[in-house]
Amino acid sequence: MEKTVKTALIIFVIYILIAFALIYSGKIGMIESVISFFLNLANTAFALYFYEKGKNRKNQIFLFYVLGGMGLRLLGIALAFIILVLFLNIDIYKFIFMFFFLYFCLLAAEILHYKTNVSKI
């Protein structure tokens, strides 16, 4: 678990440095970065929650939690994404760029978490 936390912190620091560089240069707005950060952080938190809830259970129950959680996360992210783009006065292209940039950074941390916590059979 410590290795996963260290990896996640490294990915987080890299994201923060790149985000601040983009914000400082004026290419990306602060509000787009903050909104995309919290949206992706919630997505990753739910992924880890469903993984931990299904871990050490039967295969069918594990798959129910992980794949069912993936479907719920997909619906939640899609709805939040649509609501944010439609109702907030933000630059859509900057928001989409920061959202996907952070999504792939946190997806890498999520995969590393799964890889380090898998039990060897």
Distance CA 86, CA 76 (A): 15
Mean pLDDT, range 18-32, rounded to an integer:
72
| pLDDT, tens only, 31-63 | 777 888 888 888 888 888 888 888 888 989 988
pLDDT at 121: 44
pLDDT at 2: 61
Distance CA 76, CA 82 (A): 10
State yes or no: pLDDT of 28 exceeds 50: yes
pLDDT at 1: 52
| Helix pair 2-25, 92-117: axis angle to 10 deg | 170
Q: Over the Cα atoms of the chain, what is R_g?
A: 16
| pLDDT, tens only, 64-97 | 998 999 999 999 999 998 898 888 888 888 888 8
Sign of CA dihedral 47, 53, 55, 61: negative
pLDDT at 48: 83
Q: Looking at per-residue confidence, does 76 or 102 come out higher? A: 76
State yes or no: pLDDT of 113 exceeds 50: yes
